[in-house]
Structure 1
Amino acid sequence: MERSTAHDAPDAVPVRVPRLVGRRAELEQVVGALSRGPATVLVEGEAGVGKSRLLQEALGAPAVRARGPLVAVCPPFEEALTLGPVVDAVRQSRTGPAGLELTALAGALRPLFPEWAHALPPAPEPLHDAGAARHRLFRALAELLDRLGTEILVVEDVHWADDATLGFLLFVAARRPRRISLVVTYRPEETAAGSPLLRLSARPAVGAAHVRLCLAPLTVAGTAALVSSMLDDEHVSDAFARFLHLRTEGLPLAVEESVRLLRDRSDLVRARGEWVRRTLEDISVPPTIRDAVLERFARLDPDVQEVLRAAAVLTEPADDRLVARVGGIPGPRATAALAAAVRGGVLAEDASGQLRFRHVLAARAVYDAIPAGRRRALHLAAGRALEDAVPAPLARLAHHFRAGGDTARWCRYAERAGDLALASGDHRTAVAMVHGVLDAGALPAADVVRLCGKFPVFAFSGHRGRTDLVRTLRTLLDDASLDTAERGLVRQQLGRMLLHVGQYDAGAAELERAVSELADRPLEAATAMSALSRLSGASCPVAVHRRWLERVTALARTALPAEHRLTFLVERVTALLELGDPAGWEAAREIPEAPTAARDVLDVTRAVLNIGDAAMRWGYHDEARRRLTAGRDAAGAHGHLRLRDMAATTLVHLDWHAGAWDGLAERAAALAAIDEEPLIQLDTCLVTGLLAAARGAQDTAADSLARVADEARRRGILDMSLESAAALARVRLAQDRLDEALALTEEGMRLVVRKGVWLAATEIAPARTEALVAAGRAAEAARLAAAFARGAHGSVAPATRASLATCRAVVAEVRQPPSRAAAAWADAATAWEVLPRPYAVLLARAAQARCLARAGRRKAATALTETARAGLRELGAAYAVSRLAAATGHEASPGDPGGPVRGPRGYGDQLSPRELEAVRHMLNGLTNPEIARVLCRSPKTIAAQLKSAMRKHGVTSRTALAVSALRAGITPAGPAGDADPGA
């Protein structure tokens, strides 16, 4: 290691760069984890404690170095370009993608690597959903790292990372199978409370080693060893070591800076073979690293000071020519000054010749000490120098021109950086960049409108982000310099954003005003009308949606260029089918099933998928499968990966309805792993919850379904919110939580009635009818079925017809003779067979068998019960099988999921059927958890039911309950839950 000297003085004390001291155990942990395979290594500690130094030593170990680590560093910029640290690291390690055999997915990387564009696949279609766009970008970058053979990704100073980089780190940690080891360093004191980094540090990844190190300051002995390593490994006096440790608190960087400062002051001497201070009383060590750095800085030559100021302003590593240009120092003088800074241990030079401060704290101390005027001039010089770079470092240019006070250039580069982030799918960064420019004010009206048009509507879901953005847009609407059409364009963006975040009334009001303001802009007016025609929000009736649909249809036919008509035709077909209007199927014939021109690919693919989804909900399962399969294949062939995944997700949902349950949970889980894709995650979570309920995992099902119901309602996804609410209500009925089931179904049915879209009642109406009957409100259930019949009159949707038949059967079972109830359930089963929905068919057949048994037709009932039981067992509906077995021979339990519910809620002093089941299994000596497993309930539910049984029998213990139950004629449960009529 080359020795450094202060001011190049020949008689100065020689000082080396220190060795790693006091970190042997930590080094062994890091090297061991990274040598063995996939690992997550987190190194945390305060500034100057030696995180980077530990990492340098670990990466230099042969076993680690052989795995080719890729090292990225997060700069302390407020303006951060999408995934900038990782992208810069890749760019420095590779000049291009030749020979990597990247897939079509890599086209998403074009905005991040514009200099590679000629060698990357075509760019995929833009995505309006921020989560989908970000996830696609993460997948593309992960593929690039895989093709590069990256086995270890190191990201330093993650407390400064942009949101996209943090999201990518979580994505890498969660990938299955795990391919890349992840190493991060960060300062916990500078990590925000809600930072995604905390998720990474708190949740060890499955299938990978997890090492978390919290570096502490050095001991007195460690301080002595560090100083000795800087001074030719000669002994350091105990008094000197204690002195430095006391004043630096053992912080390695503070110790190093203090030693260098003492050297510069000539306060270090050797006496009797060891290093000591010159005096014990007169020498002071600055209380902070900043003070030590600045005192050393003040002793340097003016040229050295100037290049250090330039390096501090640049922040990121830079070559000597760039530093010299920013500092304004002529070539030979700059070369000498930079050499002196490297020899003095202030700057470090990496293998590629890039210069940087050895410690970020030193750079910050120098930067903060630059006079304000000089700092602005250096930022301007940095911006002008970087304008020549290829590719243009847009975020850094925006940063420097903003700090330099050049507003015009700052706005220009911030807008370009926002465009790049938007093209990359990083909507949050795009909004942050453009939002900052708009907040600066004093922009011409045309610029305001152009920038507002760049806001991705779906970028923000967090409260703070959307609140700031809404406030900015509302402020812009008050700008008197905007003309009517310009105001309409801004208002349209505001309205669409309000719709997205669930503020439907406010969003609709803004869009309606925007339509009138955009009278001379038909394309933009049509976009606003189209948003108003879609089925969203709770308060807007279907008649209002239809009026907007008629207006946008007329406008599209008469005033829009031909190239835009297909887009609005797709919107019209989708809206009509959502509304349950058969005219949607007629209109769908106008849309080709395969694109005839390149510009139509996206619209046609969207149409195929939307029509396929509608066909599933209407009950045309064969049509749905044909459309969805074709749409999935077409989307994949044209690189529309989000649409491909959406089609695959809807096919999973269709397979739930169609009874193709083998491997369905695994398919749903694989799709749910597509990070930050909310629609896919919600739909797969819904299917997961439905499967869990059918298989008896009621608590798991409730968690999944409640999440979907809440989020779908917030997002205004009507069909999904109602389906999840209906399924959750049935789970609550099964758990004897009737009040919750009533509340869930009441809210859902109120929404259907208010909107007037009875197609949407397919899932919620039967669940509501079951809940009402369970509560003893059979007359109200009958009125609901009658209202459903009136509302769905003339409907051709098989799903609606089957749903109505189920509602009628539920009512018939409590209001009609058993033989007529059995016929009603037979009608329901036949109606579900048309789709088909095997699970619904089998539950209806089981209910039919129960009614036949009541009617005295035991033989037919037994045969039909066995058929239903075999079908449910083959389907994988373990819970329904157990409930059917338990119900055979006595009253079925109120709240059987997916099945009928009868009779009033109250049982007086008699045990309810569900309490009776629990007691009979208790008589076999089963514990509560064992009974819960047999009956597919939660232990908590079993405990509550046994407690209720004790109360009704007037006892306070399980033993006393057993005695009382046997005296009452209740017998233990036999094989397959043989029924006992006694209660």
Structure 2
Amino acid sequence: MVGRAGTDADRLPALSAPRFVGRDGELDALGTALGQTPAVVLLDGEAGIGKTRLLREFLASQAERGRRALVGACPELRVPYTLGAVVDAVRDGVDNVVGLRLSGLGGALRPLFPEWADDLPPAPEPLEDATAARHRLFRAFAEVLGRLDVAVLALEDVHWADEATLEFLLFLVSRRPQPVSVVLTYRRDEVPPGSLLLRLLSRPPSDAHLVRLTLDPLDVGETAAFVSSMLAGGHVSTEFADFLHARTEGVPLAVEESVRLMHDRADLIRQDGGWARRRLDRIDVPPTIRDAMLERVGRVGPDTRTVLYAVSVVSGPADYTTLRAVSGLPEERFAAQAAEVLGGGLLREGRPGQWSFRHSLACHAVYDAIPAEERRAMHLRAGRALERWPQPPVAQLARHFRLAGDVEAACRYTEQAADLCVQSGDVATSALLMHSLVTSMSLPAEPLVRLVTKIQFQALSGSDPYSEIIESLRSALGGQVLTPGQQASVRFQVGRVLMVAGEIEAGRGEILTALPHLPPDSSEAARARILLALPLGNARPVAEHLRWLQEAPPPARSMASLDLLRMSVERAFALLMLGEEAGWEAARHIPDDVSDPREASVVAIGHTNVGEEATRWGRYDEARARLARGQALAERHQLLDYLDSIASSRAHLDWFTGAWSGLAERTARLIDDDSGVRLKDRSEAALVAGLMQAAAGDLDTARERLRFAGRDDQQRIEAAAALAQLCLRDGDVDEALRLTDQPAETAVGGGLWSRAVEFAPARVAALAAAGRLARAADLVDTFEAALGDRDAPAPQASLVLCRAIVAEAEGRFADAVTLFSRAAAAWEALPRPYDALLARERSAHCLLADGRDEAGLQLLSDVARALSELGARNDADRISRFLETRAGGSPAAARGRGRPGYGNRLSPREVEVARLLVEGLTNRQIADALTVSAQTVASQVKSAMRKLDVTSRTALAIKVVESGLVGELRQPPQGDE
């Protein structure tokens, strides 16, 4: 029976903390795992699922048995603090380091623990190599853990950890022996792409006892027990438990916050000896913790709310003095309200005097509710309070002053924090700090340019780190009063970032506008000319690009070493793209290793770019070595996005060299990651995937991949060539011409022979198939003149292939056999086995056309077998079908008589092609009917036209009908030319 409001029966009990419910199995699994050392426990679960509660319950039981643990947490900040969770854990677990008797390594800890300065060994000598300095710091931490009587190091929410913390964890679990067992809590869905945590999750140490635990939501019965424990053990009705479970999905934190909200509303009632909810069908429980938290906050007084706002602004455990300063409340009012929020369960005291929200979701719900002006004022007070610390935390200061809108302080502390990150080898966090500032504040032109120049874009995760930067730069151009020099400097950065982002022509336009107003001897003026020298975007003569490179002023002695290194690397890359052998000498000056992380970024991308050009030149050993050097640097300095670029470049190289095992899976990973991998790298992977699918026979998917690859400027020409080859195989000569028409001016007409390796044979074949033999020959001559005698094996092989295609089209089959064989040998020497086999296939068809059937058929059989072994099933099957047809067709005796001399008469095969032409079939349809290639058909059509002295397919059809060679003309041939 329902009692009346206000009676003793309806009076609500005080809520207590919920009992630990539904986790007995996980608790036992933790105990078993950590009973076997060394252990690595990975505890996964969504927000609010109870990872922290499980961990604390377990550690409390271990403490009763005398086993100590160090516990740290990674707060959710856009820019996490380097090693912050590890520092907090050690600081919380160590009272006095004197008794630890640390070696000299302990001195490396002084910057992180200034309060221990008097008790730590002297600071060691500084190391120039940031990686070595970081390794020394890790060893010092490991020594502390080894000297302490600690069984477990537990770090919570490691999906928010900075890269240095994750590196330390990898270092720690790889130690032999592992000094402590490690427990990590994380949310798998929130692990950033490319995070080092993925390496720990996928490849844990082989000799450690590994346990993976994933917490599931509570079921209905466990939800009822959970709620009952908060209500003094009272029975919870089934209807209420079902309702609550449906609205919260059994997430413990959501259940708890919803019950607390209902308690505050007096929405719980006694019913039939248990607890239920009033008006169950009329008032919904808030679907998210955010709604529940905000309503609870709305019920407290203004001063109490201010205290909660202050805690959310600090965004992590904070002491009494700092929180009072951030709140802006007088001492007596703050003290009274602080006691209320602690007593009401909204906050918890993790360590003595350190307050925080019980869950990060609650913290963010409150933070988002702060009025904008009040939030800015609190961040300003927070920044000024932290500035008074003996060792000011510059990363936190950068965040607070940025969110407070204090431009000068935000710039100062951001650059300091970024420099500290670089010194510890954490380039990714350094780039993120500067990117966050530039994209969230309107900065004056000079600091804006300085920061943008320093950002290592490749260290930033995500597929597009450029757009917001470009918008900020353009806002400065349009909204600030700038001198011509300042305006040029900003505009140059706009152009530079646009070009890096792939918007080549827009970037060139901005740089050209800026150039006249840049100081002549500045690094910007020199870099502007080098960028204009890069042969990207619309077609321009190579000579024009070289002129920009020659006009670049020599480096001034006053330039920073980083600027000098960057220009040296970019100049080498430009020379190689332009086909200048001097680029190899310039590339030899790129160092193999550097200690400064910013220099490492430049050198890593330099080796990668040189590796890509070495692939185009056909210097495959050089390409592989350069890519390996780039990868080693990228891995050492955690330049995660560089790894994607290197992976796509290596996939391209492996395609050429026939290293196809596992290649499809590697390219699929890059293509499918549209949020973390840049368009350039996805496009290159799509190009390789499309080529592989074409070789395997999946032509529709191949076309789709190749069209996607063509979206990127650097892959556009090769993708067009591959699509044109597919069209030629289908007999669609017009489309092959269309696809290769525009890139022809870039790849060959402008003298850019390094882009003609894959393109020129496709364009020549298209022109030959269309009967434009003079134009095909001219293009080959142009290619040869541009290439000269350069030591570029791949283009030289491509040139021979082009000569062979023209010879075949002209009916000079003996010459074509020789040229195709030379091309195949050149491809094999690289090695490029697939291209070599395709050249040998064409040589075999020319042998057949020349009447040397036995040699041609034997060669085709060998080629088919080799293609099948390589993985080119489509090509192997095509040849096998042809061989089967020939085996059942012309007798061997007929083949043994040698080649008949037909003179100006049509050969039997040309008559057969003409007959099918009269029936209206296209080249592709004729090729399918005769089981030959469409290019062979095109050659035979052109040969017949030449012998009968006609200039179009229609005229050829009429001439052969009139001559009585074939039957009556049934319909006009398609594709009259």
Deviation at 1:661, TM superposition (A): 5.2
Q: Deviations over 1:862-906 (max 9, x none)?
A: 3433443454455454443322222237699xxxxxxxxx98998
Answer yes or no: is the 8 Å Cα contact 1:621–1:835 preserved in 2. Answer: yes
- Alignment of 1:540 with 2:566, yes or no, is no
Deviation at 1:794, TM superposition (A): 5.5
Q: Secondary structure of 1:722's partner?
A: helix
Tell me which residue corresponds to 2:437: 434
Q: Secondary structure of 1:356's partner?
A: strand
Which 10-residue stretch deviates more, 513-522 or 490-499?
513-522
Given candidates 830, 837, 846, the residue that maps to 2:841 is: 846
Answer yes or no: is the 8 Å Cα contact 1:294–1:366 preserved in 2. Answer: yes
Tell me which residue corresponds to 1:347: 347
Letter in 1 for 2:496: R
- Alignment of 1:56 with 2:87, yes or no, is no
Question: After superposition, where does 1:786-935 map in structure 2 within 5 Å?
Answer: 786-792=781-787, 797-833=792-828, 835-873=830-868, 875-888=870-883, 909=919
Identity of aligned residues (%): 34
Quickly say closer, same or farther: Cα 1:844–1:351, change in 2 above 3 A.
same
Answer yes or no: is the 8 Å Cα contact 2:87–2:112 preserved in 1. Answer: no
Deviation at 1:493, TM superposition (A): 0.8
Quickly say closer, same or farther: Cα 1:704–1:784, change in 2 above 3 A.
same
Answer yes or no: is the 8 Å Cα contact 1:69–1:151 preserved in 2. Answer: no
Tell me which residue corresponds to 1:899: none
Deviation at 1:668, TM superposition (A): 7.4
Quickly say closer, same or farther: Cα 1:891–1:413, change in 2 above 3 A.
farther
Q: Distance in 2 between matches of 1:594 and 1:247?
A: 59
Given candidates 738, 742, 748, the residue that maps to 2:743 is: 748
Tell me which residue corresponds to 1:81: 79
Tell me which residue corresponds to 2:170: 143
Answer yes or no: is the 8 Å Cα contact 1:781–1:811 preserved in 2. Answer: yes
Q: Secondary structure of 1:16's partner?
A: coil
Given candidates 252, 255, 259, the residue that maps to 1:256 is: 259
Quickly say closer, same or farther: Cα 1:53–1:338, change in 2 above 3 A.
farther
Tell me which residue corresponds to 1:167: 193
Deviation at 1:81, TM superposition (A): 1.0
Tell me which residue corresponds to 2:961: none
Letter in 2 for 1:154: T
Question: After superposition, where does 1:138-537 map in structure 2 within 5 Å?
Answer: 140=167, 143=170, 146-147=173-174, 153-155=184-186, 166-167=192-193, 172=198, 176-177=202-203, 228-235=228-235, 252-253=255-256, 255-258=258-261, 261=264, 289=292, 293-294=296-297, 297-298=300-301, 307-308=307-308, 310-324=310-324, 326-327=326-327, 338=338, 341-350=341-350, 354-358=354-358, 378-388=378-388, 392-394=392-394, 396-401=396-401, 406=406, 408-416=408-416, 424-426=427-429, 429-436=432-439, 438-439=441-442, 443=444, 446-456=446-456, 466-478=466-478, 481-537=481-537
Q: Secondary structure of 1:311's partner?
A: helix
Tell me which residue corresponds to 1:184: none
Q: Distance in 2 between matches of 1:788 and 1:850?
A: 25
Answer yes or no: is the 8 Å Cα contact 1:74–1:155 preserved in 2. Answer: no
Given candidates 748, 754, 757, the residue that maps to 2:752 is: 757
Answer yes or no: is the 8 Å Cα contact 1:692–1:700 preserved in 2. Answer: yes
What is the number of residues matched between the two proteins?
818
Answer yes or no: is the 8 Å Cα contact 2:645–2:681 preserved in 1. Answer: yes
Q: Distance in 2 between matches of 1:278 and 1:696?
A: 64
Q: Secondary structure of 1:350's partner?
A: strand
Answer yes or no: is the 8 Å Cα contact 1:538–1:754 preserved in 2. Answer: no
Q: Distance in 2 between matches of 1:361 and 1:905?
A: 77
Letter in 1 for 2:532: L
Q: Secondary structure of 2:757's partner?
A: helix
Q: Deviations over 1:8-63 (max 9, x none)?
A: xxx99554123367x78999999999999999998669xxxxx3557634874699
Q: Deviations over 1:338-396 (max 9, x none)?
A: 55543432322236763223466776787788898876665444333333558754454
Q: Deviations over 1:432-491 (max 9, x none)?
A: 43325652x6x4x54444345445566899999745433432342356753333333222
Quickly say closer, same or farther: Cα 1:795–1:136, change in 2 above 3 A.
farther
Quickly say closer, same or farther: Cα 1:886–1:60, change in 2 above 3 A.
farther
TM-score between the two structures when normalised by the length of structure 1? 0.65
Which 10-residue stretch deviates more, 372-381 or 243-252?
243-252
Answer yes or no: is the 8 Å Cα contact 2:737–2:767 preserved in 1. Answer: yes
Q: Distance in 1 between matches of 2:769 and 2:205?
A: 53
Tell me which residue corresponds to 1:978: none
Tell me which residue corresponds to 1:578: 577
Deviation at 1:496, TM superposition (A): 0.5
Q: Deviations over 1:302-353 (max 9, x none)?
A: 7x77755543443422234543554578999977865554343232223676
Quickly say closer, same or farther: Cα 1:805–1:612, change in 2 above 3 A.
same
Q: Distance in 2 between matches of 1:239 and 1:589?
A: 74
Q: Distance in 2 between matches of 1:397 and 1:520?
A: 38
Answer yes or no: is the 8 Å Cα contact 1:310–1:327 preserved in 2. Answer: yes
Quickly say closer, same or farther: Cα 1:362–1:462, change in 2 above 3 A.
closer
Q: Secondary structure of 1:555's partner?
A: coil
Q: Distance in 1 between matches of 2:556 and 2:294?
A: 73
- Alignment of 1:123 with 2:130, yes or no, is yes
Answer yes or no: is the 8 Å Cα contact 2:43–2:51 preserved in 1. Answer: no
Answer yes or no: is the 8 Å Cα contact 2:85–2:165 preserved in 1. Answer: no
Quickly say closer, same or farther: Cα 1:906–1:291, change in 2 above 3 A.
same
Quickly say closer, same or farther: Cα 1:117–1:89, change in 2 above 3 A.
farther
TM-score between the two structures when normalised by the length of structure 2? 0.65
Listed as ranges, the gaps of 5+ residues in structure 1 are: 1-10, 46-50, 100-108, 126-133, 181-206, 893-901, 922-983
- Alignment of 1:770 with 2:773, yes or no, is no
Letter in 1 for 2:79: L
Tell me which residue corresponds to 1:617: 616
Quickly say closer, same or farther: Cα 1:882–1:173, change in 2 above 3 A.
same
Which 10-residue stretch deviates more, 874-883 or 587-596?
587-596
Q: Distance in 2 between matches of 1:208 and 1:294?
A: 39
Answer yes or no: is the 8 Å Cα contact 2:804–2:815 preserved in 1. Answer: no
Letter in 1 for 2:130: A
Letter in 2 for 1:502: G
Q: Distance in 2 between matches of 1:289 and 1:594?
A: 57
Q: Distance in 1 between matches of 2:218 and 2:400?
A: 34
Deviation at 1:764, TM superposition (A): 0.8
Which 10-residue stretch deviates more, 756-765 or 649-658?
649-658
Listed as ranges, the gaps of 5+ residues in structure 2 are: 1-10, 101-108, 118-122, 133-160, 888-909, 932-977
Tell me which residue corresponds to 1:92: 88
Q: Deviations over 1:190-249 (max 9, x none)?
A: xxxxxxxxxxxxxxxxx9999796889x89x967x6664234214579999999999999
Q: Distance in 2 between matches of 1:844 and 1:388?
A: 75
Deviation at 1:507, TM superposition (A): 1.6
Letter in 1 for 2:409: R
Which 10-residue stretch deviates more, 412-421 or 907-916?
907-916
Letter in 2 for 1:81: V
Quickly say closer, same or farther: Cα 1:622–1:635, change in 2 above 3 A.
same
Q: Distance in 2 between matches of 1:545 and 1:889?
A: 53
Letter in 2 for 1:818: F
